[in-house]
């Protein structure tokens, strides 16, 4: 099944925002934290440790831009949307290039 580029980017944005919501509110992680914090409960620390490689890829490269302790609300949303869209376009390009190289069997 082939997905269009637009649908792929929208799905990546939806999953990215859901992941950010889950790590921030369900796991009680601060927006700047990439690893588990001592203020979390045991299950939250374990889940944060397991999910930290994903968070490093999704949030790590733009985490240093958020030095302001109280940025305007749309700043984070717009910043995430731009970075995740570029990331999703790159992944889609790699996946479509790999799929185009396959030989169709009769």
Q: How is the chain split into domains, by residue range?
A: 5-100
Percent of the chain with pLDDT strictly greater than 70: 78
Q: Looking at the predicted structure, is the pLDDT value of residue 16 above 80?
A: yes
Q: Looking at the predicted structure, is the pLDDT value of residue 54 above 70?
A: yes
Residue pLDDT, tens place only, 66-106: 666 677 778 778 888 998 899 999 999 888 887 666 554 44
Q: What is the value of pTM for the model shown?
A: 0.73
* Sequence-separated contacts (24+) of 63-72 with Cβ below 8 Å: 63/32, 63/34, 66/31, 66/32
């Amino acid at each position: 099944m082939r997905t269009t580029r637009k649908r792929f980017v929208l799905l990546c944005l939806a999953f990215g925002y859901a992941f950010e919501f889950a790590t921030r509110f369900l796991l009680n992680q601060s927006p700047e934290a990439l690893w588990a914090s001592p203020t979390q409960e045991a299950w939250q620390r374990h889940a944060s440790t397991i999910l930290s490689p994903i968070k490093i890829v999704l949030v790590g490269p733009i985490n240093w831009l958020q030095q302001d302790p109280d940025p305007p609300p749309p700043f984070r949303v717009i910043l995430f949307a731009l970075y995740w869209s570029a990331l999703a376009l790159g992944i889609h390009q790699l996946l479509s290039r790999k799929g185009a190289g396959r030989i169709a069997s009769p």
